[in-house]
Amino acid sequence: MNVNDKIHGFAVTRTAPAPCSGSELIEMRHEKTGAQLVWLKNDGENKLFSIAFRTPPSDDTGIFHILEHSVLGGSKKYPVKEPFLELMKGTMNTFLNAMTYPDKTVFPVSSRNDADFMNLARVYLDAVFDPAIYYNPNIFRQEGWHIEMRSESDEPVYKGVVFNEMKGALSSVYSRMETEIMGALFPDTCYRFESGGLPEAIPNLTNEQFIEGHRTYYHPSNAYIYLDGPVDIDAVLKLIDSEYLSRFDKREVRSEIPAQKAVAPAVKKCFYEITPDEEEANHTYLVIGKVLGSWQDREKITAASVLAEALTGSNDAPLKRALLDTGLCLDVSLEVSDGILQPFGCLCINNTDEENCEKLKETVRSAVTELCGKGIDRGLLTAALNRLEFRFRAGGEPRGLTRNISALSAWLYGGDPLHYLELGEVYDSLRSKVDSGYFEELLREWLLDDNGRAELYLLPSRTYGEEQKAAEKKRLAAVVDGLSCEERSVIVEQNRQLDEWQQSVDTPEQLATMPHLALSEVSPEPLHFDTEETNVNGVTVLKHTAQDKGIAALNLYFSLADCNETQLSAAAAAAELFGELSTAKSSAADLQRRITGLLGSINYGVDVFSKNGVSDKCSPYFAVKARFLEKNTEEALALIAEILTETDFSDISAVTELLKQTDENYKQSIIANGHTYSMGRVRAALSAESAVNELVSGYEGYKRLHEAIKAPEKLTAEIKALSGRMICTARLTASVTGNADIKPLLEALPTGTAAEQSDMSFKLDIPEKQGVIIPAGVSYSAMAFPDTNADTAVRKVLYRALSLEYLWNEVRVKGGAYGTGAFIAPSGEQAFFSYRDPSPAASLDIYRKSADFIADYCGGAPDITQYIISTIAKEEPLMSDGNRSAKADGLWFRGITDEERADEKKRMLGVTAEQLRTAAETLRSFGNVCVMGTEAAMEGLDLKKDSLA
C-alpha cells in the first residue's frame, strides 16, 4: 500500500517501518466519517481487530464501564440476548473482551482462524454501532444497576453486574489507592473520576443519560480502529466501510481531554476496610503522587520507570532500603502510571502508622537528596535499563493487544501510533545519559519538588465496611421512601420485566443470525509442543524450539517428592528468598544489580504434577524459571548457580522482612482473588496434587506462613536445611527453550542425593464446608467434586457448556455476580466458582442443580457443536515462549503424550449431548464448599468460620 491509495472509503495517509515488532505501520482515514485506522502488518500467527472510542467520564457513575458491558448485550443484526456469550461459545478466538480505561473504551478480538476473525470483527462492529440498548432497557438494569424489589413489601437492594464488580474491585486497597490519588492529582479533568464507577454513584445514572452517552461518543468520528497481523485488508476494510461507516457522516465529537494545570500541594485522607480481628497498627498506606509530564515525553516516562526499578526494585535498592531501615514501614515502591494524557508517578509506602509518616517523608527527602548529590549508581541504572528493554522486546501474548494499547497511548491524543511501539532509540538515548545527571535531575523533580504534589493517606478501619453498607442502605431507603405507590409499582413491574427477559430463551431464528464455525473448520491436530528429551551430564533435559529469536527460557525442577509438610512449606517460603538475600560472593544489592541486568525474568515456586488419572499421588518440584538473552548465557547461568548454591539464609532480619512483605501481599491477593483461593480450598481434600498446591500457594499456605514468621529462627533453619538438600543435580530435571548450553550450570550444582521416591501421597485436614471472612464488599464461592474416572474430553465440554449455558445465566445474569464458571482440574477434580458475588449462598444452590439442568438441556438433543469448538479454543491459547515451555514441561511430567492429546481432541470433536448428560450425573452428590467474603453473606450456611488475619 502507498500513501494516497484509496480502498473501500479509506485513504492511506502514511506508511512506516515498525522494526521493534517486525511490522509495517499503515495509517488510514475514513474519508466520509473521519474514523482513524492503523494496521500493524506482520506475519504473526494471530490476527487482531480492535475498535476504541475516546470516552472521558464527567462523573463517577461508571457510564462508560456500563456501556462497555451493555453494547455486547445484543444488536441489530445479532438480536440475541448475549452476542458476547455466543461468541465465547462458538468461536476459536484467542482474545475476546472489552476494557474500560480512565479515558477510553476498547473492544478487541483476535483469532488465528481467518473466517473466525472476520466473524468476530463483524459482531463487534454491530455491537458498538447498533446495540440493542436503544430499545431494551433491561440491558442497562442488568449490567448497570437496578433496585431489586419484586413486591411492594420486599426490602429493596441494589443489584447489577457493574455495581457488584466495582464493590469487589474497590475492596482492594491498591485499587482504592489508584482511584483516590488520581482524584487528588487531577482535580479539574476527567481523571478525577472513577471511570469504572463508584458503588455510591452508579445508581445516579439514568437510562436516558446512559443512552445519550452512547449516542455522543460511539460514533465513527470518535473511533480508533486497529488491526494487527496478516489480515485480509481488502475484506476487512470492505466490511468496516460498506456495512457500517458508510451510513454515518462526519461530525464533531467533543471528547478532547484538557491538560491538568499543576495543583497546589494537596493532602487527602480516606479509609479502607480491615477485618474485625486485624490490628489497625501498621496498616496505614502513604502515597505521594506527582504528574510526570505529557504523553509526548516518552523518554522521560521511560526514564521514570527505570528509576522505579533501580531505586525500589528490591529490598536492597537504595531508596527502598533507606525507608525500610527506619523500621517504620513494611514495603516501598515507586510506580509509574502511563497510557493517559499526563502520566504520573507515585511513591507508595505500605504498612506504617499515620504518626510515622512525617519521619518517613523526611527520610525520603534525605535519601533522594543524597542520591542526587552523589549520583545514582551507574551499574544500577544500566541494569534497570536492560531489564525494561528486555520486557519491551520479549513481550507476552496476545502481543497484538499489547501493541494496540501502546499505540493508543499516543494516538488517542493526536500523536504518532508508533510513539510507544518503537522504543529502541529511547533506550539507546537513555544509556547515553546515564553519566549525564539526567536521571538525578528527574528524580529531584519527581520527589523533591513539591509543586503539583499530592499526598494520600489510606487509613485502616474495622468499621468502614459496615459504615459503607449502612450508608448504602440509608441512601436506598431515602430513594424508596420518597416513592409514591405508583412509582413503587413501576419498580416492581420493571423487575418482573427483567426477570422475564433474563429467563427468556433466544429463538432458533435469533441464534441463526450469529456466525459460528463448523467442526470441519477446526483442525483435528492438537496444538503442537516440540519436546526433545535428552541427557546432559546425567540430567534429563527437555529441549524446546524458541519463537523469540535470541531469547532463551530455562526451567529447573528439583524433586521434593520425599518432603514432609514442614519441608514443603519451607520450600514455598524459600521461593520468596532466593535472589533477594546476599550470597557468599555478593551482597544483596550487588546480586540484585546483576539479576536485573542479566535476567529478563526469574521466578521461584513449587510446581506439582500428578500422572494422568491419578489422584492419590503427586510429584512436587521446586521450580526455577528464567528468561535471558542467549548472548548472555554464560553469565546468566553462573548467576543462577550462585543464587541456588550460595544464598546466605543466616540474616534473620532480612529473611523476616521479606516474608512479612510476602505475608501482606498474600493477604491482599486473597481479598482481590477470593475465587482462586476458594477453589484451591475446596479441591485440596480431593487429590494429592491439589492438597500440596493448597499448602504451598493457597489459603492454607497463607495461614502457615503467617504463623511461621512469628518464629523466624526456626523457619530460617528449616529453609536452610531444605535448600542444601534439594538443590542438586540428582534431583533435577531441566528444560531449555532456545540455544543455551546449560552444561556449565549443571557442573556448578552439587551432585547431591536423589529423592527417595518419585511421587508422594499427601493429604490435608481441610473442612468440607468453610467460610473465610474477608474485608470485601462482595463475596466468592466455590464447590468441588471428585471425579477420578472421567473421560476428560467429555468433561471439558461439559464444564464449558455449564459455564456458558447455565452458570452465566443463573449466577451472573440473574444473580448479579461479576464472574462464574466450572472446570475440570488437571488432577481430576470438578470445580465451580463465583467471582464478586452478592449472593454466594444462592450460587451454591445453583451448582447443586447442575445435573438437573444438563438432564433437561440434553433431553432436547441440542446441537453442542459450539461448546466443542469453544472448549478447543480454551485449550489452545496464544502462548509466549515461557508459557509454552512450562506447558510442554507439564505435559511431560504428567506423562501425556502427543498421541494421547490427539486422541483426546478426536474424542472431543465427537462428544454427544447424551455423553454430557451421563457425565453430569456425578454432580448430584454435594461437594466441598468454601465461601470467602462478608459474614452476612454466609448467614444460613453451615460453614466452619475462619477470619483472614
Tell me which amino acid residue 218 is. Answer: Y
pLDDT of residue 395: 79
Which residues lie across from 229 on neighbouring strands?
none
The mean per-residue pLDDT over the stretch 237-257 comes to: 97
Q: pTM for the full model?
A: 0.95
How many of the other CB atoms lie within 10 Å of CB of 378? 11
From the list 346, 330, 331, 337, the residue with the least C-alpha distance to 289 is 346
CB 920 within 8 A of CB 854: yes
Alpha-helical regions (H) of 395-506: 399-411, 424-432, 438-447, 464-481, 485-503
Q: Which strands sit side by side in the sheet containing 830-837, from one edge to the other? A: 819-824, 830-837, 779-785, 928-933, 769-773, 944-947
Q: Which residues contact 944 (CB under 8 A, 6 or more apart)?
A: 767, 769, 770, 771
Whether the predicted pLDDT of 830 surpasses 70: yes
Whether the predicted pLDDT of 790 surpasses 80: no
Distance (Å, rounded) from C-alpha 166 to C-alpha 244? Answer: 33
Higher per-residue pLDDT: 177 or 790 = 177
Whether the predicted pLDDT of 226 surpasses 70: yes
The mean per-residue pLDDT over the stretch 294-299 comes to: 98
Per-residue model confidence as pLDDT tens digits over 733-772 = 999 999 999 999 999 999 999 999 999 999 999 999 999 9
The mean per-residue pLDDT over the stretch 671-687 comes to: 95
Residues in the chain: 949
Distance (Å, rounded) from C-alpha 7 to C-alpha 715? Answer: 68
Domains recognised in the chain with CATH numbers: 6-255+485-512 (3.30.830.10), 279-461 (3.30.830.10), 532-748 (3.30.830.10), 767-864+911-947 (3.30.830.10)
The mean per-residue pLDDT over the stretch 668-677 comes to: 95
Per-residue model confidence as pLDDT tens digits over 34-76 = 999 999 999 999 999 999 999 999 999 999 999 999 999 999 9
Residue percentage of the chain with pLDDT more than 90: 93
DSSP code string of 702-749: HHHHHHHTTSHHHHHHHHHHHHHHHSSGGGEEEEEESS---HHHHHHS
Per-residue model confidence as pLDDT tens digits over 301-344 = 999 999 999 999 999 999 999 999 999 999 999 999 999 999 99
CB 395 within 8 A of CB 404: no
Per-residue model confidence as pLDDT tens digits over 81-121 = 999 999 999 899 999 999 999 999 999 999 999 999 999 99
Per-residue model confidence as pLDDT tens digits over 883-941 = 999 999 999 999 999 999 999 999 999 999 999 999 998 888 778 999 999 999 999 99
pLDDT of residue 277: 85
Whether the predicted pLDDT of 788 surpasses 70: no
Residue 211 C-alpha cell reads as 443512552
Most confident of 573-577, 763-767, 872-876: 573-577
Distance (Å, rounded) from C-alpha 888 to C-alpha 940? Answer: 45
pLDDT of residue 826: 85
- For the ranges 274-278, 629-633, 873-877, the lowest mean pLDDT is seen at 274-278
Q: Which residues contact 803 (CB under 8 A, 6 or more apart)?
A: 820, 821, 822, 823
The mean per-residue pLDDT over the stretch 466-475 comes to: 94
351 membership: H or E segment, kind and range: strand 344-352
Computed over every residue of the chain, the mean pLDDT equals 95
From the list 544, 506, 512, the residue with the least C-alpha distance to 528 is 544
